[in-house]
Amino acid sequence: MSPIRFAIPKGSLEEATFKLLERSWTKVNRKDRTYRVYLDDPNIIVKMLRPQEIPTLVSEGLYDVGITGKDWVGETSADVEAILDLEYGKIRLVVAFPDKYKYKNLDEMIADYAKKKKTLRISSEYLTTASKFLKQCKSYKKYYGSKDPLIVTPWLRLGTNKNVQIHLSFGATEAKPPEDVDAIMDVTETGTTLKQNKLKIVDEVLTSTAHLIVNKKSLRDPQKREKIFDIVTLMRGAVHGRKYLHIYLNVEEQNLKKLLQQIPSLKKPTISPLSEEGWFGINTVILKEDFHKLIPKLRKIAQGLVVHEPRQILELEEIKRDEEN
Ligand SMILES: Nc1ncnc2c1ncn2[C@@H]1O[C@H](COP(=O)(O)OP(=O)(O)OP(=O)(O)O)[C@@H](O)[C@H]1O
Ligand SMILES: O=P(O)(O)OC[C@H]1O[C@H](OP(=O)(O)OP(=O)(O)O)[C@H](O)[C@@H]1O
């Protein structure tokens, strides 16, 4: 079988991606400056690329699988299957402008600029998302109909509506208003950069997290499909595992029933007799967020609590069902 080609993101998703790979496979080696990564599986060839390029590379079949932000899958309109939400790299794509402006949202700004015949300039890395967002604004439709906003890049200009312009940003987008542009469409995580640049969020365009994406043709190839589902299984186990704790505790027989009424589990807790009569060991997997709520109860009826963070929790039945569909 030809190996599976796997593209992973370089940049702000990089660190969390490596953490997840390390939980999913047992060895992850990285060769500095070559952007090549080696897993303990010779049938997976991994390379680091910019997340903005990954959806197109996967849709064109240069890579079978990739990790990138869902925002860039939409921006590039790549025909790929977003098979697994990896639940990190959580951001909001928002429209923002100087907090001293009186407009409540972009729609109001479009209307006012149109009335005053002023050119509206927006800076963004997300050219198609910005264009689509503008075109669905009520006042844009009212003043400009279905005309495409002018997209300005150093190489190309697209669209006919010179009154509303989207300028390609190469970064530091928040620094541009009010002198260079009137508004921005940019990613925010904590909101700090916007605040420090005295900008306010006026519209939320989308939210995004990192996803595992797959080439649709590879998914139809029986051999590749098998291997892709191995990857999905391992990574889904790691994503799932992060949310749980594996706990082990000892309990006296007289408290066993009470404990079982209170303790959560994935299916049912395992009960094993200890070598001392009248005592039992309980093994169970609980949600991390439930742990602190359990402590006051456990303190009163259990002994010797051991807590582990599971590397992976593999819901094999569920994954098998997905694979068969
Ligand atoms: N804090 C963040 N800032 C920007 N993008 C983020 C952040 N957290 C996650 N992402 C995701 O990372 C992807 C963009 O990658 P990256 O941040 O490397 O590009 P960038 O914004 O051009 O930044 P840089 O040029 O600093 O590397 C998008 O899918 C985006 O949703
Ligand atoms: O809401 P916050 O937590 O402040 O984070 C958001 C900022 O982080 C990213 O910038 P990055 O550092 O990647 O630099 P860039 O502007 O060159 O993309 C993003 O483009 C925002 O500018």
Instruction: Identify the band that residue 1 occupies on the pLDDT scale cut at 50, 70 and 90.
Output: confident
* pLDDT of res. 317: 79
The answer on pLDDT for 316 being more than 90 is no
| The two domains 4-88+209-241 and 243-317 share their CATH topology (first three levels equal) | no
For 122, phi and psi rounded to 5 degrees?
-125, 140
Q: Which residues pair with 166 in a beta bridge?
A: 122, 151
Sheet holding 210-215, edge to edge: 28-31, 36-39, 44-49, 4-9, 65-69, 210-215, 80-85
Residue nearest atom 22 in ligand 1 by C-alpha distance: 171
* Separation of alpha carbons 51 and 57, rounded Å: 10
The domains of the chain are located at 4-88+209-241, 101-197, 243-317
Confidence at residue 325, expressed as pLDDT on a 0 to 100 scale: 75
Quote the pLDDT of residue 324.
80
The superfamily (CATH) of domain 4-88+209-241 is: Periplasmic binding protein-like II (3.40.190.10)
User: Six-digit token pair at 29?
Assistant: 């080696």
pLDDT at 261: 92
CATH number listed for the domain at residues 243-317: 3.30.70.120
Please tell me the predicted confidence (pLDDT) of residue 323: 75
**d(C-alpha 270, C-alpha 64), whole Å:** 40
Ligand 2 centroid – CA 189 distance (Å): 8
- Mean pLDDT value across residues 236-260: 95
Task: Provide the 3-class DSSP secondary structure of residue 237.
Answer: helix
pLDDT in tens, 76-112: 999 999 999 999 999 999 999 999 999 999 999 999 9
> What is the per-residue pLDDT across 125-147, written as a single tens digit (0 to 9) for each?
999 999 999 999 999 999 999 99
Dihedral angle sign, alpha carbons of residues 200, 175, 111, 161: negative
- Give yes or no for residue 6 having a pLDDT over 90: yes
Residue 196 near ligand 2, beta carbon < 6 Å: no
Model confidence over 183-192: pLDDT tens digits? Answer: 999 999 999 9
For 39-76, what is each residue's pLDDT tens digit? 999 999 999 999 999 999 999 999 999 999 999 999 99
Q: Is the CB of 125 under 6 A from ligand 2?
A: no
Lowest mean pLDDT among 78-87, 113-122, 284-293, 299-308: 299-308
The alpha carbon of residue 256 and the mean position of all alpha carbons in its chain are separated, in whole angstroms, by: 41
* Rounded percentage of the chain residues whose pLDDT exceeds 90: 91
Length of the chain: 325
Q: Give the distance (Å) from ligand 2 centre to CA of residue 22.
A: 26
187 lines ligand 1 (CB under 6 A): yes
Provide ipTM, 2 decimals.
Answer: 0.96
**Interval between CA 201 and ligand 2 midpoint (Å):** 15
269 preceded by a cis bond (ω within 30 of 0): no
11 CA → ligand 1 middle, Å? 6
- Residues 193-215: what's their mean pLDDT? 98
Hey, what are 228's tokens? 């892709």
CA gap 47, 9 in Å, rounded = 9
Q: Does residue 190 line the site of ligand 2, with CB under 6 A?
A: yes
